[in-house]
Structure 1
Amino acid sequence: MPKGETKRRPRTRAALLQAALETFAEHGFRAATIEQICERAGYTRGAFYSNFSSKEELFLALFDAHSDRILGRMTDLVDSIAAEDLTLPALVEVLCEIEPAERDWYLVTTEFTLHAIRDPQAAWVLARHDARLRAELARALTDHLARAGRTLTADPDEVARLLIAIREGGLAQSYVEPEQLPPGRLERRFLAPLLTALTTESGPA
């Protein structure tokens, strides 16, 4: 591969990912076409297929990128809190952060999840990526709780599943009734007592 093409590849991939997120959010995963994504990104179908084999593979790349960004943001926020101020309520506040742009991602991932429920092969693949996200979340949550002087008494993977379910279920209601239930309100009200019940005191890490 020519050197210039090697340097351009990350930019091309990033542009296609951003265009895909916007196109999926606007038209829906099933209705969106590869041509629409390429047109929005300013690239050809050849550029698309040199990076992704299908819309499904493109979505999964978006899924992993989104997961990494959210978990990285959470870690950065926790790291910015002074050790003496890192309490369970402070950690909960980090977990409750919902960025405005999250709405587009919610639309995209919800539709793909419905697609996966109908398609066993897509479900199998999505489950693998879900498992990776849960493992990273469970590891990060365990570490952050330890720094806050708490230790999980429940299986970390199951706690990660529960937190994801609360977040996704809360967002579903918030996006339908944003004035009655702003994003993050349910988590701010209930995550602290929930995590208190699922942890025990320990010495700060």
Structure 2
Amino acid sequence: MNILKKNKFQLKREATYANLIQAGIEVLCERGYSASSIDDVVSRAGYTKGAFYVHFESKEQFFLHLMDQRTESRGSMMAAVSKARGESMTLHEAVSSVVKASVAFVTQSPEWILVYMDFFIQSKQSELIQAKYIELYENWIAEIKQLLEKLKENGQVSEEIDIESKSRMLNAFWDGCIMHHVFYKEELDEQKITDAFVKLLRE
């Protein structure tokens, strides 16, 4: 089998892209979307604006790439969701495993939810960006729905559960937990969050 090796130019291009993405995450989490500039990002990454525009057309497009990168980096959290769907667990165990992985992921960059909100407000006139947000949100809801379907199939939640509305309720509750964590600088208590989720699922 012939495996094409990447040349030095390709490797350098990929490294530049990755460094810009990482710098963007750091800068935006520190300053927010509206207060950050392309100059801030390239300065943090150690590049020129020319290097930035090789990869991105605008600040808005750059942030869309950051959103995709953020989604792709949720590997451990999604593994926990898959495990909860695929293994025989009690309701509390299944929820606890997902909460634990979610807390670990969020605490890497807890301010990210504020960056999302800032960008959403600044980009309200863009149908493309609005559609991207809706797609992202619906993907999160779909993941929760799949987990609830499995829990229902295993008899761990009521047959009468409204999976659609319950999934959105759980997602909203989780967003609230993150906001509280960011505003009040309090730790995300995995046990309390797990107990609250379980209570919501049993209501």
The CA deviation string for residues 112-140 of structure 1, in whole angstroms up to 9 with x for no partner, is: 23334x4353323322333334334434x
How far, CA to CA, are the matches of 2:118 and 2:23 in structure 1?
Answer: 17
Distance 1:4 1:87, change over 3 A: same
Supply the RMSD in Å over aligned alpha carbons.
3.0
Within 5 Å, give how 1:112-123 maps onto structure 2.
112-116=119-123, 118-121=124-127, 122-123=129-130
Within 5 Å, give how 1:68-87 maps onto structure 2.
68-70=72-74, 72-77=75-80, 83-84=87-88, 86-87=89-90
Letter in 2 for 1:154: D
| Aligned with 1:52 (options 48, 53, 56) | 56
Distance 1:137 1:83, change over 3 A: closer
Distance 1:61 1:19, change over 3 A: same
**Structure 1 unmatched runs, 5+:** 198-205
Q: CA deviation at 1:19?
A: 0.5
CA contact (8 A) 2:24 2:41 kept: yes
* Structure 1 range deviating more: 120-129 or 147-156: 147-156
Over the matched positions of the two proteins, sequence identity in percent amounts to 26
The CA deviation string for residues 131-185 of structure 1, in whole angstroms up to 9 with x for no partner, is: 334334434x2476368654674244x4443222111112212222234xx3245
CA contact (8 A) 2:27 2:41 kept: yes
TM-score by length of 2: 0.75
Aligned length: 189
Distance 1:129 1:78, change over 3 A: closer
Within 5 Å, give how 1:181-192 maps onto structure 2.
182-184=187-189, 187-192=193-198
| Aligned with 1:154 (options 159, 162, 173) | 162
**Structure 2 unmatched runs, 5+:** 1-5
Letter in 2 for 1:63: M
| SS class of match (1:96) | helix
Distance 1:24 1:39, change over 3 A: same
Distance 1:53 1:96, change over 3 A: same
